[in-house]
Amino acid sequence: MEVGAGIALAVGIIMGLAALGAALGVSRVASQTIEGIARQPEAKGSLQTTMFIGIGLVEALPIIATVIAFMLLGNL
């Protein structure tokens, strides 16, 4: 396998795992927020705010992975 093919394969794996990790993280944060709102409806506002911050932090993973992938592709 050539170096370019290996880098292209690595980029695909990086992007796929980042998307999978973000999807699992966001679903976990959202499900726990819904559970918390079901238990304490009066805390809905603060829970939603915390959820949006958490989802934003989880979504940083695929953005960082995309940057790393483009850096790797720049080395082709």
Task: For residue 57, give the CATH number of its domain.
Answer: 1.20.20.10
What is the span of the domain harbouring residue 40?
1-74
**Separation CA 55–CA 47 (nearest Å):** 12
C-alpha R_g of the chain: 17
| pLDDT band at residue 72 using 50, 70 and 90 as cut-offs | confident
Calculate mean pLDDT across residues 28-46.
Answer: 95
Q: With pLDDT > 90 as the criterion, what percentage of the chain qualifies?
A: 66
Mean predicted lDDT score pLDDT of the chain:
90
Give the DSSP letter of residue 76: -
pLDDT-based confidence at residue 20 (cuts at 50, 70, 90): very high
**If you average pLDDT over residues 41-66, what whole number do you get?**
93
Overall number of domains in the chain: 1
